[in-house]
């Protein structure tokens, strides 16, 4: 795009030849902090973000209290795995930028989803697989896990489907339709459709935002009612309240996120967050 002033133009990919290293967190920290709060075993937090986990997330997002090392900080929750790859954090910063266009936003969600899927599939079981190379027979491996099904939560989760499918092209795709009631912030269920043989499948629920956790908790409950047993959530930005609510309702569901943000505002938006993911993906505001 010639003459564009998109965020990506202003923060080029670090891998591009001749570009400066502008990865988030690379700036020197004038006031190094002690190690982050220890993991909290209990999940008694509220949406106000007053737990030790949210205080830890809070410090990491204050410009005057930059983390001493590049992200991620260790996850303060046993159910939450935070992405480690520097490119995830670089791309996430572009995603947060209010100047990022809808087109670039969509591309970034897609790319981060692929990288999250890489992390979330890291423990897939393997089985031996005989193969003949052009020179001789040998034994390699193939993934022996259950059939994988992606379940985007409409609308914003749709933006993550193609990225995950590029890594796992054989996955099936179901859909859960939910939106948050603006007043109560509770999810309203409007659609549910997943492939059959539910008990035989591994499910990845996809949603860029885990805010109050109401939507993710409801989606997981619907999947379990349909017979699903193995479910993971891939999200881009998580809030402490959402991680805690999901863990209280479904402690067996692991969450793979790019970042754990500070807290929710009074309207249930994640701070610092990235705004309304659905609107930014589909250009509806
Ligand atoms: C957003 C987001 C999540 C939900 C998260 O969807 O994509 O589904 O909010 O919030 P929660 O954790 O508090 O439930 P939204 O309801 O805005 O619908 P949309 O994707 O159709 O815009
Ligand atoms: N949904 C969004 O799209 N963004 C938030 O910050 C919270 C919920």
Mean pLDDT over the full length of the chain = 82
Average pLDDT, stretch 3-14?
Answer: 50
Average pLDDT, stretch 166-175?
Answer: 95
The dihedral built from the CA positions of residue 27, 69, 48 and 242, taken in this order, carries a sign that is positive
Residue 61's pLDDT band, with cuts at 50, 70 and 90, is: low
Query: What is the C-alpha to C-alpha distance for residues 186 and 73, in angstroms, rounded to an integer?
Result: 30
Query: What is the C-alpha to C-alpha distance for residues 113 and 124, in angstroms, rounded to an integer?
Result: 17
Q: Where are the alpha helices (DSSP H) in the chain?
A: 7-10, 52-60, 86-96, 102-120, 161-167, 214-225, 240-249, 277-282
Q: Is 179 in the pocket of ligand 2 (CB under 6 A)?
A: no
Residue with tokens 């390699």: 140
The structural domains of the chain, ordered by start, are 48-121+147-282 (3.40.50.2020)
Q: Is 281 in the pocket of ligand 2 (CB under 6 A)?
A: no
Average pLDDT, stretch 114-129?
Answer: 95
Q: Is 72 in the pocket of ligand 1 (CB under 6 A)?
A: no
What lies within 8 Å, CB to CB, of 75 at 6+ separation is 39, 81, 82, 260
pLDDT at 36 over 80: no
pLDDT at 35: 33
pLDDT at 253 over 60: yes
State in Å: Cα 56 to ligand 1 middle.
24
Strands 230-238 and 137-143: unpaired
Average pLDDT, stretch 196-206?
Answer: 93
CB atoms within 10 A of CB 127: 9
End-to-end CA distance of the chain: 23
Q: Give strand pairing partners of 137.
A: 132
pLDDT at 180: 84
Q: Is 277 in the pocket of ligand 1 (CB under 6 A)?
A: yes
Is 276 catalytic? The answer is yes
Coil, strand or helix at 257 = strand
Query: What is the C-alpha to C-alpha distance for residues 208 and 219, in angstroms, rounded to an integer?
Result: 14
pLDDT at 182: 84
The dihedral built from the CA positions of residue 164, 169, 170 and 173, taken in this order, carries a sign that is positive
State in Å: Cα 4 to ligand 2 middle.
27
Top mutation candidate among 187, 209, 216, 219 for ligand 2, by most atoms within 8 Å of CB:
209
Q: Which ligand gives the minimal distance to the CA of 185?
A: 1
Is 180 catalytic? The answer is yes
pLDDT tens-place string over residues 156-170 = 999 999 999 999 999
Q: Is 278 in the pocket of ligand 2 (CB under 6 A)?
A: yes
pLDDT at 27: 37
Q: Which residues of 107-155 form beta strands (DSSP E)?
A: 126-132, 137-143, 147-154
Average pLDDT, stretch 32-51?
Answer: 36
Nearest protein Cα to ligand 2, atom 7 = 269
State in Å: Cα 20 to ligand 1 middle.
35
What lies within 8 Å, CB to CB, of 273 at 6+ separation is 96, 209, 237, 239, 261
Residue 73's pLDDT band, with cuts at 50, 70 and 90, is: confident
Residue 105's pLDDT band, with cuts at 50, 70 and 90, is: very high
Q: Is 192 in the pocket of ligand 2 (CB under 6 A)?
A: no
What lies within 8 Å, CB to CB, of 40 at 6+ separation is 51, 52, 53, 76, 77
Q: 67 and 73 in contact (C-beta within 8 Å)?
A: yes
Nearest protein Cα to ligand 1, atom 22 = 278
């Amino acid at each position: 795009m010639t003459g564009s002033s998109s965020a990506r133009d202003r923060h080029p990919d670090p891998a591009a030849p001749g570009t400066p290293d502008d990865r988030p967190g690379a700036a020197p920290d004038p006031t190094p902090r002690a190690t982050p709060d220890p993991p909290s075993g209990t999940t008694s937090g509220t949406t106000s973000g007053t737990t030790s986990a949210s205080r830890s997330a809070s410090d990491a997002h204050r410009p005057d209290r930059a983390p001493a090392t590049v992200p991620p900080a260790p996850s303060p929750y046993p159910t939450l795995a935070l992405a480690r790859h520097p490119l995830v954090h670089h791309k996430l910063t572009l995603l947060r930028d209010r100047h990022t266009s809808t087109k670039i936003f969509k591309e970034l969600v897609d790319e981060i989803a692929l990288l999250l899927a890489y992390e979330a599939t890291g423990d897939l079981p393997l089985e031996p697989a005989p193969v003949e190379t052009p020179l001789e027979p040998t034994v390699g491996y193939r993934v022996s896990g259950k059939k994988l099904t992606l379940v985007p939560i409409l609308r914003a989760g749709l933006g993550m489907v193609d990225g995950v499918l590029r890594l796992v092209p054989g996955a099936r795709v179901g859909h859960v339709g939910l939106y948050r009631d603006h007043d109560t912030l509770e999810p309203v269920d409007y659609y549910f459709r997943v492939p059959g043989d539910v008990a035989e499948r591994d499910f990845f629920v996809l949603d860029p935002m885990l805010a109050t956790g109401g939507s993710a908790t409801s989606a997981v409950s619907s999947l379990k009612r349909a017979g699903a047993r193995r479910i993971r959530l891939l999200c881009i930005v998580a809030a402490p309240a959402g991680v805690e609510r999901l863990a209280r309702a479904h402690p067996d569901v692991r969450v793979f996120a790019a970042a754990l943000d500070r807290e929710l505002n009074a309207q249930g938006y994640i701070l610092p967050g990235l705004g309304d993911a659905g609107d930014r993906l589909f250009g509806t505001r």
